[in-house]
């Protein structure tokens, strides 16, 4: 009885972590309306080994390119978070230090910085010749095999400190083998798939046992592990400095080792093929380091870095979308982080003019609610228009008082 109570308390904590930053989503609101009974129902299903993810939804995004996203009901997200609470901390111990996606304290900026360090180290600050070889995996998520992904998750669970490893493996099995393509809701019109999505890059065209759901936390974690041994092989066995971010792999090699590095690619192709994924023959880059390289939306050139035109274009499109909103006051909380996501990129690159271009693109109606912070090069919400201020005004609350009382 004590263990059941402790586990239910733990499940409640997982639920609260899951809804963080997602509280106003449709699924989250439906679940939260009767969260105690819903959570107990899921708890009971775990005990009876009847837990199943029965509803998923899919939609398309067009930025930076058309892509299929498969997400799951809130119950499924709780399952993903429960698994990843165990897997992610342990996975960080086995992942190559040169794999940067879906890792706390890492990310795209860290991957770019590491690539810059690799280039400067191999070229001795651009004084010696070197080559940059960039590879791309075609249809990385849609072609992933469930069996292999599950095997990698189980290996991490085995070396974790979690006491109930058998239960956690069962939970991971329920999450990975839920076959979302068979029971999902389309939130983008179905004919858009025929117009914009290559069948090779859609899990709806894959047989049972193939296809990772982009948008699921469990799959983001699993795909970080999927080619980990290959990245370690390149770096630790072959001695090639590598940076990996999801399906992008960049090698930096001295000029005299260029032929050796190219000779490794057939073996790398064979290793990937055994896992069901393949190198994209159309996206192969091999140039001198002084020519620079495009990586994760940025151009890395000798002693400078700037955003590529695609990312800048996406920023302008997004600003225009925000400008077109009629009730701007209602969308303040969405607009501020959206704008700052792009100014955050431009101010860390040599793109001051682009920052000013974004600022000037924002129509005057927004400046009633937003303010430009010059030192930080970002927008902030004007006093009186924050979410807390607007809730106080609408419902005659005093949220500041409640916060102070809670802190005391």
The band of 141, judged by pLDDT with boundaries at 50, 70 and 90, is very high
The band of 297, judged by pLDDT with boundaries at 50, 70 and 90, is confident
pLDDT at 394: 66
CATH class held by domain 108-138+227-295: alpha beta
pLDDT at 401 over 50: no
CB count, 10 Å around CB of 351? 21
Buried b (16+ CB within 10 A) or exposed e, 291-324: ebbebbbbbbbeeebbbbeebbebbeebbeebee
Residues 234 and 242: beta-carbon distance below 8 Å: yes
Rounded Cα–Cα distance for residues 214 and 65 (Å): 14
Q: Which stretch of 102-111, 354-363, 384-393 has the lowest confidence by average pLDDT?
A: 384-393
Enter the pTM of the model. 0.83
Cα of 55 vs its chain's centroid, Å: 22
Residues 11 and 39: beta-carbon distance below 8 Å: yes
pLDDT at 84: 93
pLDDT at 22: 73
pLDDT at 126: 92
The values of phi and psi at residue 70, to 5°, are: -120, 115
Q: List strands edge to edge, sheet with 56-61.
A: 67-72, 56-61, 184-186
Contacts 24+ apart (CB under 8 A), 172-176: 172/83, 172/87, 172/218, 174/51, 174/52, 174/53, 174/79, 175/53, 175/76, 175/79, 175/80, 175/83, 175/216, 175/218, 176/146, 176/149, 176/150, 176/218, 176/219, 176/222
The band of 277, judged by pLDDT with boundaries at 50, 70 and 90, is very high
pLDDT at 61 over 70: yes
In terms of pLDDT, which residue wins out, 182 or 21? Answer: 182
In terms of pLDDT, which residue wins out, 121 or 105? Answer: 121
pLDDT at 397 over 70: no
Q: Could you tell me what percent of the chain has a pLDDT over 70? A: 94
* HSE-CB of 194 using CA atoms within 13 angstroms: 3
In terms of pLDDT, which residue wins out, 215 or 23? Answer: 215
Average confidence (pLDDT) over 305-321: 88
In whole angstroms, how far apart are CA 206 and each of 60, 176, 200, 211?
A: 18, 15, 8, 7
Q: Could you tell me what percent of the chain has a pLDDT over 90? A: 48
The position carrying tokens 């095999």 is: 145
pLDDT at 406 over 60: no
Q: Which stretch of 25-39, 120-134, 174-188 has the lowest confidence by average pLDDT?
A: 25-39
The values of phi and psi at residue 371, to 5°, are: -135, 140
pLDDT at 407: 40
- Give me the DSSP letters along 21-84: T-TTSHHHHHHHHTHHHHHHHHHHHHHTT------EEEEEE-SSS-EEEEEE-HHHHHHHHHHH
Average confidence (pLDDT) over 11-35: 82
Average confidence (pLDDT) over 188-199: 91
In terms of pLDDT, which residue wins out, 199 or 397? Answer: 199
Average confidence (pLDDT) over 98-119: 90
pLDDT at 102: 84
Rounded Cα–Cα distance for residues 52 and 74 (Å): 12
* Short-list 388, 384, 377, 306, CA closest to 340: 377
Average confidence (pLDDT) over 233-253: 94
CB count, 10 Å around CB of 259? 10
What is the tens place of the pLDDT at every residue in 160-173? 999 999 999 999 99
* Coil vs helix vs strand at 387: helix
pLDDT at 48 over 60: yes
* Coil vs helix vs strand at 237: helix
Q: Which stretch of 26-40, 65-79, 190-204, 313-327 has the lowest confidence by average pLDDT?
A: 26-40
The band of 287, judged by pLDDT with boundaries at 50, 70 and 90, is very high
In terms of pLDDT, which residue wins out, 147 or 18? Answer: 147
Domain parsing of the chain, residue ranges: 2-95+141-224, 108-138+227-295, 307-407
- Give me the DSSP letters along 255-319: GGGHHHHHHHHHHHHHHHHHTT-EE-TTS-EEEEGGG-EEETTEEEETTEEEE-HHHHHHHHHHH
pLDDT at 402 over 50: no
* HSE-CB of 330 using CA atoms within 13 angstroms: 3
CA dihedral 65, 327, 359, 381 (to 10 degrees): -110
Rounded Cα–Cα distance for residues 243 and 191 (Å): 37
pLDDT at 405 over 70: no
Q: Which stretch of 25-29, 338-342, 344-348 has the lowest confidence by average pLDDT?
A: 25-29
Buried b (16+ CB within 10 A) or exposed e, 156-169: bbeebeeeeeeebb
Average pLDDT of the residues of the chain: 88
97 contact partners, CB below 8 Å, separation of at least 6: none
Average confidence (pLDDT) over 362-381: 89
Average confidence (pLDDT) over 203-230: 92
In terms of pLDDT, which residue wins out, 340 or 64? Answer: 340
pLDDT at 275 over 50: yes
């Amino acid at each position: 009885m004590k263990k059941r109570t402790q586990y239910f308390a733990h499940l409640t904590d997982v639920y609260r972590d899951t809804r963080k930053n997602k509280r106003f989503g449709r699924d989250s609101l439906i679940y939260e309306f009767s969260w105690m009974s819903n959570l107990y129902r899921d708890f009971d299903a775990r005990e009876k080994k009847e837990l199943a993810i029965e509803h998923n939804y899919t939609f398309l995004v067009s930025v930076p390119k058309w892509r299929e996203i498969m997400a799951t009901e809130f119950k499924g997200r709780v399952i993903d978070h429960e698994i990843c609470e165990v897997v992610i901390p342990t996975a960080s111990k086995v992942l190559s230090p040169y794999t940067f996606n879906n890792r706390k304290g890492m990310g795209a900026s860290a991957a770019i910085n590491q690539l810059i360090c690799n280039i400067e180290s191999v070229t001795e600050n651009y004084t010696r010749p070197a080559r940059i070889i960039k590879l791309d995996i075609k249809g990385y998520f849609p072609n992933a095999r469930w069996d292999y992904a599950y095997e990698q998750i189980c290996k991490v669970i085995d070396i974790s400190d979690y006491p109930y490893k058998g239960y956690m493996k069962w939970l991971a099995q329920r999450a990975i083998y839920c076959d979302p393509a068979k029971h999902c809701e389309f939130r983008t019109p179905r004919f858009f798939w025929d117009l914009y999505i290559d069948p090779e890059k859609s899990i709806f065209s894959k047989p049972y046992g193939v296809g990772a759901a982009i948008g699921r936390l469990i799959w983001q974690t699993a795909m970080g592990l999927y080619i980990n041994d290959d990245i370690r092989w390149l770096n630790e066995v072959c001695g090639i400095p590598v940076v990996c971010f999801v399906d992008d792999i960049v090698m930096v090699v001295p000029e005299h080792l260029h032929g050796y590095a190219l000779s490794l690619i057939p073996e790398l192709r064979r290793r990937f093929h055994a896992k069901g994924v393949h190198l994209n023959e159309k996206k192969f880059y091999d140039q001198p380091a002084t020519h620079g390289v495009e990586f994760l939306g940025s151009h890395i050139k000798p002693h400078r870095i700037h955003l590529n035109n695609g990312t800048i274009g996406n920023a302008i499109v997004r600003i225009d979308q925000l400008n077109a909103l009629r009730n701007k006051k209602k969308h303040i909380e969405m607009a501020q982080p959206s704008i700052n996501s792009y100014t955050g990129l431009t101010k860390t690159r040599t793109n001051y003019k682009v920052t000013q271009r974004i600022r000037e693109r924002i129509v005057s109606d927004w400046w009633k609610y937003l303010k430009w912070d010059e030192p930080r090069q970002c927008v902030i919400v004007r006093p009186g228009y924050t979410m807390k201020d607007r809730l106080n005004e609408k419902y005659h609350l005093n949220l500041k008082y409640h916060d102070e009382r809670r802190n005391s």
